[in-house]
Amino acid sequence: MDGNGLHEVANPSEMFLAERSVEIAGTSIFPSLEGTRPILVEVQALVSNANYGTPQRNVNGFDVKRLGMLIAVLEKRIGLAMGTKDVFVNLVGGLRVDDPAADLSILCSIASSTMDKTMGENIVLLGEVGLAGEVRSINRLEQRLVEAATLGFKKAVVPIASVNEKVKNINIELYPVKFVKDAFKVLF
Q: Which is nearer to its own copies, 137 or 143 (CB)?
A: 137
Q: How far apart are CA 63 and CA 40, in angstroms?
A: 19
The reply on whether position 38 binds its own copies by CB under 8 A is no
Q: Which is nearer to its own copies, 36 or 51 (CB)?
A: 51
The answer to whether 93 and 34 are in contact (CB under 8 A) is no
The answer to whether 43 and 29 are in contact (CB under 8 A) is yes
Name which of residues 88 to 127 contact its own copies (CB under 8 A): 88-90, 92-94, 98-100
The reply on whether position 143 binds its own copies by CB under 8 A is no
Q: How many C-beta atoms lie closer than 10 Å to residue 170's C-beta? A: 19
The reply on whether position 134 binds its own copies by CB under 8 A is yes
Burial string for 120-132 (b: 16+ CB within 10 Å, else e) reads eebbbbbbbbbee
Q: How many C-beta atoms lie closer than 10 Å to residue 116's C-beta? A: 10
- Site residues for its own copies per CB under 8 A: 1, 3, 6-9, 15, 18-19, 21, 24, 26-27, 42, 44-46, 48, 51-56, 58-60, 63, 65-66, 68-69, 72-73, 76, 83-84, 86, 88-90, 92-94, 98-100, 128, 130-132, 134, 136-137, 160-161, 163-165, 168, 174-178, 182
